[in-house]
A and B are shown apart, each in its own frame.
Chain A
Amino acid sequence: MDSAAWPYLRVGLHGGFFVVAFFLLKRIHDFRRETEPRHLGPARKPLLIPALGLLLLFGAVLGHQGSWQLAGIFRPQFLAFMQTYDRRQFNPAHGIQRGRILDRRGEVLAYSEEADGQVWRRYPHGPAFAHSIGYSHPKFGASGVEAAASQHLNGATPERLESWGELGRQLLTQGKRPRGQDLVLTLDLELQLAALQGLGSRRGAVVLLRPEDGAILALASTPSFDPSALSPALFRGGLAESPLLNRATQGLYPPGSTLKVALAAEALEQGFSGTLHCPAEGYTTSPRYPKIRDHEYYSARRAGQSWSGHGNLDLATAFTESSNVFFAQLGVQYGHDAFRANLERLLFGQPVRIYPGLDRTGAINTSRVPRIADKDRYGLAQASIGQGVMTTSPAHMALITAAVANQGVAMKPRLIATEPTAVLARLMSEATAKRLARMMRRVVTEGTGKPINTDKLAIAGKTGTAENSQGASHGWFVGFAPAERPALAVAVLVEQGGYGSTSAAPIARDLLLRAQAMGLME
C-alpha cells in the first residue's frame, strides 16, 4: 500500500463508507412498498404507537449521546477528566490552548504552544514551580494547580453566555484553537528563584507567605523535576531523592526545637510565670531512659570542657536559649491532655488546603496529633521538644509562625490570587501571640538565631535542629519580619543540614532581605 497516498485514500474510504451506508438506507426506503409483507395480511393493530415509542426511546439515547459526544465542551468536569486521563492524543480536549499561569506580577510561569499539530504545555522556569503548578501532559495527565484549576484554564467556566457559545463553536468546528483563561497565582517568581537558590543542591523546602492574608509568595521544594520534560522513569518511583514529593507541603519531618513555639504558646496560654530548674545533667522521667540534655552540654563536652548548666530558667530565656531540659519538663508538667489539646488548636491533623480540590499535592500535611500513651511520660517529654513521635510539614510550621505574626490568627493559605482572603482559625490569643513574637525576636538578637542577626531587618524566629534516625539532623528555621509589624513569615527546612542556625536560618534571612529589597516589608 502506498503510504503517501494512504491518508487521502483513508479519508475517501471513510466518506465512501458513509455514502454507501446512507445509500443503502435510501434504497431500503425505496423498496418499502415492494418488500411490504403483504402475504401476512394487514396489521391487526396500528403500528404507529409502539413504533413512535421505540423511535422516541432510541432518539433520547442518541440525543444524550450527542450531549457528550458533540457538546462535551459544556461539561467542564468531563473536559477536565479528558485532559487529565484521556491518552488519545487527537482528543480535541487536548487541543485547547489552556490559559497561561502567571505569578503575582504577571510573569509567565506556564503557557501553551502548538507544535506538530498538538498543543503542548511549556514551563519557562522548568523545575522551579514543578511542585506548586504541577504539569499538564497528554500522556501523563495533570497535577498541581494545572489539575485543580483545569476548568478555569480551559475556559470552561466563562463568565458570560456568549463566551460559552464561542467556546462551543470553536471546538465543534475545530477551526481556530480555543483559548482558555489565564490564572494568576500569589507566587512571586523572584522570591521563588531566590528560595531555590538558597537551598542550592541540598534537599529541603522553603515556604514564604504573607501572615495578614495567607498569600503564598514562595513554595520551594528540592530536588525537583522539569515539568516540560516528563518521562515515565520519573513516575516509576524508586528514585532515592523522590523529586515528585512536594517537601514543602507533603514532607513530614520531626520539628525539633521549632515546636517550642507551640510549647511556649501552651505555657503562655496557661499563664506560666516563674522558673524551672535546668541542671547540666539534664532531665528524664525515669532512670531507665537516657537523659534529655541541652545543646550547651554537648558543645562543652566536645570542647573537653564542663558546663555548669542553666540553673533556674524563666520561659523567655529558656525559649531564647532553646533549652530542651526546660521544655521537656514543661510538657510533662502540663500533661498529655493539655499537650494534645494544644496541638489540636495548632491545626495538627486538620485539613488545610492551598488551593481548592481533592488532590494530595494541594493539601498541607498537618500530620496528626501523635498518640502517646498516658503512662508514657518520657514519650511526652520527647514530643515536647519536637522529637520522638512528633512530625509535621514545613508548610504547617510556616502556618503556625504566620499566626504568631498575625496576632494569633491563621489566615487560609492560598496559591490562587483570586481566591478570597479568609480566616482559617485562631491558634492562640492575641496577648500570647504578642509575647511569643517578642520572644522570637530575642532568639535572633541574643539567642540561638544570633548568626543571622542583621541591622538591615528586624527578624524574629526560632531555630530547630531535629535529630533523625536516618543520619545527620534536619536544620529548621521558622520566623517572620519585620518583628514589630510582620509582613512576611517563612519556614525553611534543610534535610540533614545540621544545626538550623547555620543551615536553614541563613536561607530565611537572605530571602527576607531580598523581599525587603523588593519593597515587601513596608
Chain B
Amino acid sequence: MKATSPWDQRRPERELLLICLGGIGIGVILVLGSLHGAGKPLGLTSLLPFLVFALSLAGLHLALVMAGFRGDQILVVAMAFLAGFGLLARTRLGAFDAGTGGSGLADFAFVGGFLAMLAILLGFMGGRYRALAAGHWPWVWAGISLLLVAALLVTGQRFRGAIFGTGFITPTELLKVSFVLFAAAYIDRQAKGLGAWEFHGLMPPWRPLAPLAGVWAALVILLLIQRDLGMVIILGVTLPVLLVLGTRHWGYMGYGLAGAGLLGWLLLAVFQHGERRIQAWLSPFHDPTGDSWQVLQGLSGMYSGGLWGEGFGAGNPEYTPIAESDFIYAVIGEELGFVGGALVMAFFLLIFLRGLQIAYRSRSSFGLLLAGGLTTVLATQTFLNIGGVTKFIPLTGITLPFISQGGSSLLTAFAILGLLLAISDGEPPGTRARARSSGPSPARSRAAKSPRAPARTRKVTPHTPPEGS
C-alpha cells in the first residue's frame, strides 16, 4: 500500500462535500426565492447562515486534513447533508425572519454544534477516547447523568405535560452521551462478570449488574417524573443493546423485552398522558380535532406533498403545530414529498450503518460499546421521531437529530457524531489491539496521552486480525 498524504486521502470527502454544498445551495435559492415570493423581506443577512454553513464545512474539512484525521469520511458527508437539510427546513419555517430581518443566535446553533464536534473529534481521536473509560470516569459519567436530570427537575418548567428547561437548553439531551459513556465504560470493565449467567444461563449475574441497573433505574424514574417518554425509550433500548454487544449474551435482550412490556403496561396504567397518545395513535379519527390533530395535520401535509412535493416554500407547514421541532419531517414530506422523506431516511441510514461499521471494526472493546451505543441512541431517536410523525408508532415528542430546531438537541447530535468520528480514527499503531480497558493501566494512559506517532498518519498499515473473535 502506498503512502498518501492526508490531503489526497480525504479527496472523497472533499468532492462529496462540494456536491453536498451544491445541493444545499440549490435549496437555498429555492427557499429564499419562495420566501421572497411570499413577501418576506430578504437581505444579505438572509444568506449569512448558509455562508457560515459553507465556511464551517470548509473549515471542518481543512481541520481534519491538517490533523491527519483518518476517520470516516462518509459520516462527515452524511452529517453535512442532513445539517444542511435541517437548515433549509428551518429557514423555510421562518426561523430567519425574526423581526428586523437579522438572524437570531439560535439560527447559528449549528456553528456551535460543528465546533463542539470538531473539539471532541480532535480531542479524542487517535485512540484518546479510551481515556473516557479510564479511572473513575465511569462514575463521573453516571454522576453527570443523574445531575443533568435532577437539574432539569429543579429548574425546568412544565409545558405540554412534560418538563422543559428554561429557554434554549434542555440538559437531559446531553444524557444521551453521558449515559452511553457510563454504560459502555462500565460494561467494558465488567464484561466478564456480566457474561457469566447463572442457572444454566437463565439468571443474569446480579452482583455486577446491580450498579448499572441502579443508575439506569434512577434515571428512568426521574425521567418518568418529567414525563420524558422518548428519553426513557432511548435509554431502555440502549442498555440491553450495550449489554448484548459487550457480553454476547442474548439473554439481556430477552429480559429487556420483558422489562419493556412491563414498563409499557405500567406507563399506561399510571400515566393518562401516555394512554391518550396511544388512543390518538390507534384510532386517530375518534377525536380528530383533539389529541390526533397534530399528527393528522402532519399527514395531511404529507398527503398533499404526494410523491415529489412542490418544492421548499410551496407548502403550508404552518398548519401543522410545532412543525419546526418535532414535526419537521412532516414539513419535508409536505414540500419534497415521499422522495424527500426517503432521501432524509437514506442519509440517516448511512450514518447508522457507518456507525455500526465503526463499532464492529473498532479494535478496542470500549470503542465497540461506545460507537454501538451512540449509534443505537441516534437510530432510536430517529425512529421515534419519524415513526411518530408518520403514525407508525405513538407520538413520543422527540426531536429529529441534526434537523429539528432546538439548541441542546442539535448540540447533542453533533457531539455524538464527534465521538463516532473520533473512534473511527482508530488506535495509534503500536497499541495492543483488543485490550480491554479494565482498570487504569499506566502504560495505556501514557500511550493515550502521548503525542501521535508521526508515522501513524502516513501509512495505512494492514492489520492482522486480532486473536480469537
Question: Contacts A1-B33, A61-B392 known; A35 to B74 CB distance under 8 Å?
Answer: yes
What are the residues of chain B within 8 A of A62 when measuring CB–CB? 341-342, 345
Please tell me if the beta carbons of B349 and A85 are within 8 angstroms of each other in the complex: no
Please tell me if the beta carbons of A69 and B305 are within 8 angstroms of each other in the complex: yes
Question: Contacts A20-B22, A40-B426, A51-B353 known; A28 to B310 CB distance under 8 Å?
Answer: no
Please tell me if the beta carbons of A45 and B360 are within 8 angstroms of each other in the complex: yes
What are the residues of chain B within 8 A of A72 when measuring CB–CB? 299, 303
Of the candidates A14, A35, A38, A43, the one whose C-beta lies within 8 Å of that of B311 is A14
What are the residues of chain B within 8 A of A38 when measuring CB–CB? 460, 462
Q: How many residues of B are counted as interface, with CB atoms below 8 angstroms from the partner's CB atoms? A: 90
Any B CB within 8 A of the CB of A66: yes
Considering only CB atoms, which chain B residue lies closest to A83 in the complex?
Answer: B300
Any A CB within 8 A of the CB of B316: yes
Of the candidates B73, B341, B379, the one whose C-beta lies within 8 Å of that of A35 is B73
What are the residues of chain A within 8 A of B337 when measuring CB–CB? 69
Q: From residue 130 to 186 of chain A, which have CB atoms closer than 8 A to chain B? A: 172, 174
Kindly provide the distance from the CB of B159 to the nearest chain A CB, expressed in whole angstroms: 25
Any A CB within 8 A of the CB of B289: yes
Scoring A1, A37, A57, A60 by chain B CB atoms within 10 A of each residue's CB, the highest score goes to: A37
Any A CB within 8 A of the CB of B306: yes
Any B CB within 8 A of the CB of A24: yes
Q: How far is the CA of A90 from the CA of B340 in the complex (A)?
A: 18
Kindly provide the distance from the CB of A4 to the nearest chain B CB, expressed in whole angstroms: 12
Kindly provide the distance from the CB of B193 to the nearest chain A CB, expressed in whole angstroms: 21
Any B CB within 8 A of the CB of A68: yes
Kindly provide the distance from the CB of B329 to the nearest chain A CB, expressed in whole angstroms: 9
Please tell me if the beta carbons of A92 and B300 are within 8 angstroms of each other in the complex: no
Considering only CB atoms, which chain A residue lies closest to B337 in the complex?
Answer: A69
Any B CB within 8 A of the CB of A291: no
Interface string of B67-102 (1 = CB under 8 A from A): 000111110011001000000000000000000000
Any B CB within 8 A of the CB of A39: yes
Q: How many residues of A are counted as interface, with CB atoms below 8 angstroms from the partner's CB atoms? A: 63
Give the contact stretch, choosing among A74-82, A332-340, A421-429: A74-82
Considering only CB atoms, which chain A residue lies closest to B73 in the complex?
Answer: A35
Please tell me if the beta carbons of A55 and B349 are within 8 angstroms of each other in the complex: yes
Any B CB within 8 A of the CB of A86: yes
Any B CB within 8 A of the CB of A357: no
Kindly provide the distance from the CB of B6 to the nearest chain A CB, expressed in whole angstroms: 12
Any A CB within 8 A of the CB of B307: yes
Any A CB within 8 A of the CB of B331: no
Any B CB within 8 A of the CB of A289: no
Kindly provide the distance from the CB of B382 to the nearest chain A CB, expressed in whole angstroms: 8
What are the residues of chain B within 8 A of A89 when measuring CB–CB? 316
Please tell me if the beta carbons of A31 and B12 are within 8 angstroms of each other in the complex: yes
18 contacts between A and B (CB under 8 A): A16-B26, A17-B30, A17-B312, A20-B23, A28-B16, A28-B78, A35-B73, A38-B462, A40-B363, A41-B466, A50-B356, A51-B353, A62-B345, A69-B338, A70-B338, A82-B300, A86-B319, A91-B303
Interface residues in chain B, defined as those with a beta carbon under 8 Å from any beta carbon in chain A: 12-13, 15-16, 19-20, 22-23, 26-27, 29-30, 33-34, 36-37, 70-74, 77-78, 81, 285, 288-289, 293, 296-297, 299-316, 319, 333, 336-343, 345-346, 348-350, 352-353, 356-358, 360-363, 368, 379, 383, 386-387, 390-392, 424, 426, 433, 460-463, 465-466, 469
Interface residues in chain A, defined as those with a beta carbon under 8 Å from any beta carbon in chain B: 1, 3, 6, 9-11, 13-14, 16-18, 20-25, 27-28, 31, 34-35, 37-45, 47, 50-51, 54-55, 57-58, 60-62, 64-66, 68-70, 72, 77-78, 81-82, 85-93, 172, 174
